[in-house]
């Protein structure tokens, strides 16, 4: 297979690879997990046998093994024509996807203090792939870039100016590839162009964020300096009172422990005491488990509250869009959220909602709704593949 585009997404202890053909059809994907652990493992989707990895493989070793396995399986008998790399934080430096050079690498390193858990592993993946494929274009695609159109009133925190000027403390926003895909897809379905489309896009997965998009541009978003702010998430708290840190410190909980609590022990998991998984929570709630019902209530109410807040950035709303594992699959979450939006005139057709919009080109609103409501499956890998193709040949 020639003229393929490879997409690399390195997380803290895992990585994903996706291979696209020239029509941007996904032809193969692979996953490696528990990297840097004795039980690290990897496999290609659809193949039963795991891909052999060195014991305790790191990101570089896993990438080398998976590339070899793609090669041996006949998916990538020749080098891809471009490789797209997901990078979480591009700070204020990267307004768009960029061809990788040594200077680009240095600039991404400089953003690492803003995303210490993510940028270093993203860089590790790029270095490893540049060694394996030194002669083909590598392109970096940033989660933050789409949100660099936020106006100062949305990105500045009400903190002393030095926080911004000396320490770059501002709202950056994340899930940019997903939100930008939503406005393109929504425009398609509404027979509009993205540049004249205004939506509220709710990406609800393990991480959750919501973005107001006016005429194709991000103008407000719920995640902030870090991906902790905003909506309730799987294990992340979203918004809390900043006074909480002092309050916890007085009870012997250090800043590091509080950080861990807010990132890993909170959200749906913290509220329910059971799980961060929305599907399981819905089952538990149906069986009368009160803390799970409460977790869903808090999740939906916070989301509805943010939808209301996002309208302050728009003068027209072409659609409210749901995406991500929860947004695409939970009729209950969409329905419960809409029930808080009566004043805005958001009304769902429960039959269409029950089918997740699959029988109605994504539309789930009822005829009396003031606004269209869409369910659109996200595809961040496709966005990265398209960007890699575009930048590699410009």
Applying CB under 6 A, the residues found at the interface with ligand AMP are 205-206, 234, 277-279, 282, 324-326, 329-330
Judged by CB, which is closer to ligand AMP: 194, or 234?
Answer: 234
- 252 marked as binding residue: no
Residue 106: CB atoms within 10 Å: 9
Known catalytic residue at 135: no
Judged by CB, which is closer to ligand AMP: 281, or 385?
Answer: 281
- 84 marked as binding residue: no
* Closest separation in Å from C-beta 177 to ligand AMP: 13
d(CA 156, CA 172): 10
* Closest separation in Å from C-beta 34 to ligand AMP: 18
Residue pair 59/351 in contact by the 8 Å Cβ criterion = no
* Closest separation in Å from C-beta 333 to ligand AMP: 7
- 326 marked as binding residue: yes
Q: Which residues of 6-40 are buried (b: 16+ CB within 10 A; e: fewer)?
A: bbbbbbeebbbbbbbbeeeeeebbbbbbebeeeeb
- Block residue for tokens 């909506």: 231
Torsion of CA 331, 337, 340, 343, to 10 degrees: -90
- 281 marked as binding residue: no
* Residue tagged active-site, from 143, 220, 318, 349: 143
- 60 marked as binding residue: no
Torsional class of 324: left (φ above 0), alpha (ψ -120 to 50), beta (otherwise): left
d(CA 304, CA 296): 12
* Closest separation in Å from C-beta 307 to ligand AMP: 19
Judged by CB, which is closer to ligand AMP: 349, or 380?
Answer: 380
Q: Give the bridge partners for 210, in sequence order.
A: 202
- 244 marked as binding residue: no
Q: Residue 291: CA atoms inside 13 Å, Cβ hemisphere, count? A: 10
Judged by CB, which is closer to ligand AMP: 4, or 272?
Answer: 272
Residue pair 202/320 in contact by the 8 Å Cβ criterion = yes
Judged by CB, which is closer to ligand AMP: 308, or 377?
Answer: 377
Judged by CB, which is closer to ligand AMP: 114, or 326?
Answer: 326
d(CA 138, CA 167): 30
- 91 marked as binding residue: no
- 9 marked as binding residue: yes
Judged by CB, which is closer to ligand AMP: 310, or 331?
Answer: 331
199-204, strands of its sheet edge to edge: 217-221, 208-214, 199-204, 319-323, 373-375
Q: Which residues of 277-314 are buried (b: 16+ CB within 10 A; e: fewer)?
A: bbeebbebbeeebeebbebbebbbebbbebbeebbebb
* Closest separation in Å from C-beta 241 to ligand AMP: 26
Name the residue with the smallest CB distance to ligand AMP.
325
Q: Give the bridge partners for 374, in sequence order.
A: 321, 363
* Alpha helices (H) in the chain, listed in sequence order: 59-72, 102-110, 119-132, 152-155, 161-165, 176-189, 244-249, 255-264, 267-272, 278-286, 290-310, 324-329, 331-339, 350-354, 380-392
Number of helical (H) and strand (E) elements in the chain, helices listed first:
15, 12
- 380 marked as binding residue: yes
Feature table: binding site for Mg(2+): 9, 380
Feature table: binding site for ATP: 16, 203-207, 277-279, 325-329
* Catalytic positions, written as ranges: 143
Feature table: binding site: 9, 16, 86, 203-207, 277-279, 325-329, 380
């Amino acid at each position: 297979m020639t003229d393929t585009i490879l997409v690399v997404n390195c997380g803290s202890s895992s990585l994903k690879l996706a291979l696209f053909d020239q029509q941007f059809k996904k032809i193969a994907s692979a996953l490696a997990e528990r990297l840097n652990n004795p039980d690290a493992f990897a496999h290609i989707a659809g193949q039963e046998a795991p891909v052999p990895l060195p014991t305790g493989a790191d990101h570089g070793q896993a990438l080398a093994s998976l590339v070899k396995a793609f090669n041996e399986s006949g998916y990538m008998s020749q080098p891809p024509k471009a490789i797209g790399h997901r990078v979480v934080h591009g700070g204020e430096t990267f307004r768009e996807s960029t061809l990788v050079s040594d200077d680009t690498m240095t600039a991404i390193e400089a953003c690492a203090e803003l995303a210490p858990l993510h940028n270093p592993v993203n860089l590790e993946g790029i270095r490893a792939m540049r060694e394996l494929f030194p002669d083909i274009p590598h392109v970096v695609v940033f989660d933050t870039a789409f949100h660099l159109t936020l106006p100062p009133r949305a990105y500045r925190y009400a903190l002393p100016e030095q926080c911004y000027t000396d320490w770059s403390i501002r709202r950056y926003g994340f899930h940019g590839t997903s939100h930008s895909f939503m406005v393109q897809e929504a425009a398609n379905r509404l027979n509009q162009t993205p540049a004249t489309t205004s939506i509220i896009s709710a990406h609800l997965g393990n991480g959750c964020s919501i973005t107001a998009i006016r005429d194709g541009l991000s103008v407000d978003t719920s995640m902030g300096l870090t991906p902790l702010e905003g909506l309730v998430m799987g294990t992340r708290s979203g918004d809390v009172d900043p006074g909480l840190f002092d309050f916890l410190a007085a009870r012997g909980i250090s800043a590091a422990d509080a950080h861990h609590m807010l990132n890993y022990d909170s959200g749906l998991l913290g509220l329910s005491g059971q799980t961060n998984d929305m599907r399981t929570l819905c089952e538990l709630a149906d069986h009368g488990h009160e803390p799970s019902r409460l977790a869903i209530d808090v999740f939906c109410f916070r989301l509805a509250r943010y939808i209301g807040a996002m309208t302050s950035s728009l003068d027209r709303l072409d659609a409210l869009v749901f995406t991500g594992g929860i947004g695409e699959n939970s009729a209950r979450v969409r329905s419960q959220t809409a029930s808080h939006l009566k004043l805005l005139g958001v009304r769902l057709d429960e039959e269409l909602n029950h089918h997740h919009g699959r029988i109605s080109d994504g539309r789930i609103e009822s005829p009396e709704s003031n606004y269209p409501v869409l369910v659109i499956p996200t595809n961040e890998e496709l966005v990265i593949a398209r960007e890699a193709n575009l930048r590699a040949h410009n």
